[in-house]
Structure 1
Amino acid sequence: MYWLKTNIGKIEMDELSISNKLLEFRKQQPNFKDISFTTICAYRENAALMHYHPTEKQYSKVEASHLLLIDSGGQYLTGTTDITRTFVLGEMTLEERKDFTIALKAMFRLQNAHFIEGITTGANLDILARGVIYDYDLDYRCGTGHGVGHFLNVHEGPNGLRPKSLYGHEACIVPGMITTDEPGVYVEGSHGIRHENELLCVKHTENEYGTFLKFEPITYVPFDIAGLDLDYLSNHEIASINEYQQYAFDHIKDALTQEEKDWYLNNLFIK
């Protein structure tokens, strides 16, 4: 993220070279074995195609304007990752800014959910994210999330978040399950926006109503807040985003240079 945001417009970039740069960074990490799926690096209208990825024969130049979506993951001995971030590279439209914001609202609405053990399925939780998108008469033609294996499949049941079951039955979300949270907005010919964290289901509390569960994010990567329109966010939502940005910083700060730390603290919090 730091490399991309500080070099865009200064050096030549395209979807393929950015994908290769990301792989170069991954190879520097301990326990890395391979990517967990073909990297989706999609600029502007390419990102409206949910599973687009650049190839040696077909890729787009990336310039210092509008949005770049990167959905990538790695296979590590310690687990399998799947993460999406949408980056603001320069000038963007009001529609892009609105869609960027409501997609992040939706992701946090699900990430912050509390729910009862034993009766809550992925279909029950899907509406928490999708409902935010529905509020603006929009939808995304895919699930909200899926289970992730441990150094295994990046899509692994029985857990998942979608309006109807993918597996022929509904599995309750239980402690220990890792599920992605990835709502988005896709406008054909214009842009695609997705924000994705992996969430670990954990026990929250127990009382006369039952055992309450919640999600703990295990993706420690900040969001690019340059795309936000604060008019679409409540004070509570702004505080929640800043809390996550701090949470991510606290987990990764020891791996950052002083220059990277300063850039993070100056650019990635809503003031």
Structure 2
Amino acid sequence: MLQKFTETARPEQGPPRLAALRAQFDAARIDGVIVPRTDAHQGEYVAPRDDRLAWLTGFTGSAGYCVALRDAAGVFVDGRYRVQVKSQVADVFTPVDWPETGLAAWISDKLPDGGVVGIDPWLFSVDQMRSLRADLTGVSLRFTENLVDRIWQDQPAPPMGTVFAQDVALAGEPHGDKIDRLARDLGASSCVITLPDSIAWLLNIRGSDIAHNPVPHGFALLNADGTVELFMADEKLADLGDHLGDRVSVLPPEGFLAAIATLQGPVRIDPATCPVAVADALQGVEIVEAPDPCLLPKACKNEAELAGARAAHLRDGAAMVRFLAWLDAQPAGSYTEIDVVERLEAERRATNALRDISFETISGAGSNGAIVHYRVTERTNRQVNAGELLLVDSGGQYVDGTTDITRTIAIGQPGDEEREAFTRVLKGMIALSRLRFPAGLAGRDIDVLARAALWEVGLDYGHGTGHGVGAYLSVHEGPARIARTGTVPFAPGMILSNEPGFYREGAYGIRIENLIAVEHASPVAGQTVPAMYRFETLTWVPIDRRLIVPDLLTAQERDWLNAYHGDVLARIGDLVDGSVAGWLHAACAPL
């Protein structure tokens, strides 16, 4: 549970590791290799054993690639990581803006016709492989064993975390009913499932193979006859008892490829998450391509899961309020970014309900706050000084829900530029919080509302506005998101983040984040749209009023903020006492 502040790799380790990787090219008959940040399960989060991109390059972001050729090595990162990557990789690696520059275009430009690039077929999905092959010019791909694993002498062992049952009272539906519901509409005789959170949700189990995400590693076949074959190590399941029942067969994971090779078909795969190695094992079998059948049902939380999320957010909100009250009482310059992380985790642990943090806390002061996914280490740790902004993005894993909240705090007197930027970010967050919208809209249809106030003065941010959040599962969950690329329509029960921001490189970072849930909106007089949705706010923690320029808010925005703070006081007030209660009353005073 305790956050670690060590680094996976230091920049100076990059050159010898890159040289060792290149030394493997001749034997593999390749001119380069692609190293993604993913594993055989194709989820966002990886175990230490699979964190090959970080080990090779030093870059610790949650998405990206390294393309290592004989005389060039690019590290491809999106807008969240363009500041971070500069400080984490040695100069033998060239940061590349991705997806503006695609892997295929960069490789085709760097390699002559006839060049060959190696990939591990377990680490690329069917969709990724098709895109690469279609876009490469004069260059071919070759499947190889994983060359990073060959040179990584002290590579950690595969995770073998204990699996435990998620109580049906919290899950809201027995796993047998989930299996039946999905099997009825499978459209195939069997379906391959590789995503750890999909398997966990389907079978009402949780695990501990990934730090901060309660999921187990394994593979599954969901069959149209209402049975499931679970390919997972027996020793992980020792504490489950008879939870799985006789409809779930447990088989050794090393037999997964051989088992799917015997299927008669048709077999359903999700090309976005099915590894190429799996698709190749199905050669000669009829394949049906469709999304992972767990994705949408998992995202649309039932009433039990929503009730759990509400309870978790009240508990977590009280911990955040105690933390913020402590922070305001500390003299500027008397504590560090690590002190902030440790104090916040201590407040969450004091609830006696915390199972884990939901991700490594982002505690960025001053210029470190401009690194969107900054993770403080012993090397980067610094004091939090007067006149700075402190960005704290954190969350907790509770058995009844997953939380994720960001607050930006003024340390001392904030500057006018920072206050205006903060207020414009706040306007975007309020715009989404107040929104009523027709059923059928997706993230790309509303993302603009979070950015409009920033666009008015030529500002923007380089990340999406919101991601899905699981029910005591992954803090980042698909398929819906609030972003220009979000195409999955919103549906009731989806929990999403609402987190616009602004970042001035070298100076400060601002982000304000609440979690929200999609719900039906009551009809209004004269309504002609058949169905309308709105967002229920789940997060109840004060927003720093010292950073707000009141004259930039409209009357409706001011009313929303005052009502929000009134609700925070009403919901959290009885959960804190003493000086913390006094701090909360002051923090929630009307603007």
Calculate the TM-score normalised by the size of structure 2. Answer: 0.44
Which of 325, 328, 337 lines up with 1:5 in the alignment? 328
Matched, 1:146 2:146: no
Q: CA deviation at 1:68?
A: 0.3
> Alpha carbons of 1:249 and 1:243: their partners in 2 closer, same or farther (altered >3 Å)?
same
Which has more radius of gyration? 2
Q: CA deviation at 1:263?
A: 2.2
Give 1:14's aligned amino acid: T
Give 1:89's aligned amino acid: I
Equivalence map 1:121-200=2 (5 Å): 121-165=442-486, 170-200=487-517
Could you tell me the percent identity over the aligned residues? Answer: 37
Per the alignment, residue 289 of structure 2 pairs with none
Per the alignment, residue 204 of structure 1 pairs with 521
Identify unmatched segments of 5+ residues in structure 2. 1-323
Q: CA deviation at 1:261?
A: 2.3
Which 10-residue stretch deviates more, 18-27 or 234-243? 234-243
Matched, 1:244 2:564: yes
Separation (CA, whole Å) in 2 of partners of 1:263 and 1:61 = 24
**Quick check: 1:224–1:268 contact (8 Å CA) kept in 2?**
no
Separation (CA, whole Å) in 1 of partners of 2:349 and 2:432 = 32
Separation (CA, whole Å) in 1 of partners of 2:506 and 2:513 = 22
Show CA shifts across 1:163-214 (max 9, x none).
123xxxx211111000000000111111110000000111112453211110
Give 2:569's aligned amino acid: F
Separation (CA, whole Å) in 2 of partners of 1:66 and 1:16 = 16
Show CA shifts across 1:2-61 (max 9, x none).
11012233x720000110010101101142111111110000111111011111222110
Separation (CA, whole Å) in 2 of partners of 1:181 and 1:30 = 28
Per the alignment, residue 371 of structure 2 pairs with 49
Equivalence map 1:243-262=2 (5 Å): 243-262=563-582
Q: CA deviation at 1:229?
A: 1.1
Per the alignment, residue 320 of structure 2 pairs with none
Equivalence map 1:220-235=2 (5 Å): 220-235=540-555
Q: CA deviation at 1:64?
A: 3.0
Matched, 1:23 2:340: no
Separation (CA, whole Å) in 2 of partners of 1:130 and 1:266 = 29
Which of 217, 225, 233 lines up with 2:537 in the alignment? 217
The structure with higher relative contact order (CA 8 Å, sep 6+) is 1
**Quick check: 1:204–1:212 contact (8 Å CA) kept in 2?**
yes
Which 10-residue stretch deviates more, 12-21 or 126-135? 126-135
Once superposed, which parts of structure 1, at least 4 consecutive aligned residues long, lie more than 4 Å away?
Answer: none
Separation (CA, whole Å) in 1 of partners of 2:582 and 2:481 = 38
Partner SS state of residue 128, structure 1: helix
**Quick check: 1:106–1:132 contact (8 Å CA) kept in 2?**
yes
Which of 420, 430, 451 lines up with 1:98 in the alignment? 420
Aligned residues: 265
**Quick check: 2:498–2:515 contact (8 Å CA) kept in 1?**
yes
**Quick check: 1:225–1:270 contact (8 Å CA) kept in 2?**
no
Per the alignment, residue 71 of structure 1 pairs with 393
Q: CA deviation at 1:269?
A: 2.4
Give 1:4's aligned amino acid: L
Per the alignment, residue 116 of structure 1 pairs with 438
Separation (CA, whole Å) in 1 of partners of 2:497 and 2:587 = 26
Partner SS state of residue 159, structure 1: strand
Partner SS state of residue 210, structure 1: coil
Partner SS state of residue 4, structure 1: helix
Separation (CA, whole Å) in 2 of partners of 1:27 and 1:18 = 14
Partner SS state of residue 519, structure 2: strand
The RMSD of aligned alpha carbons is 1.4
Give 1:173's aligned amino acid: F
> Alpha carbons of 1:208 and 1:236: their partners in 2 closer, same or farther (altered >3 Å)?
closer
Separation (CA, whole Å) in 1 of partners of 2:528 and 2:556 = 28
**Quick check: 1:145–1:179 contact (8 Å CA) kept in 2?**
yes
**Quick check: 2:362–2:376 contact (8 Å CA) kept in 1?**
yes
Partner SS state of residue 478, structure 2: coil
Give 1:7's aligned amino acid: Q
Show CA shifts across 1:249-270 (max 9, x none).
1111111114322222224324
Q: CA deviation at 1:130?
A: 1.5
Identify unmatched segments of 5+ residues in structure 1. none
Separation (CA, whole Å) in 1 of partners of 2:528 and 2:383 = 58
**Quick check: 1:31–1:78 contact (8 Å CA) kept in 2?**
no
Separation (CA, whole Å) in 2 of partners of 1:89 and 1:268 = 18
Q: CA deviation at 1:227?
A: 0.7
Per the alignment, residue 357 of structure 2 pairs with 35
Separation (CA, whole Å) in 1 of partners of 2:537 and 2:587 = 21
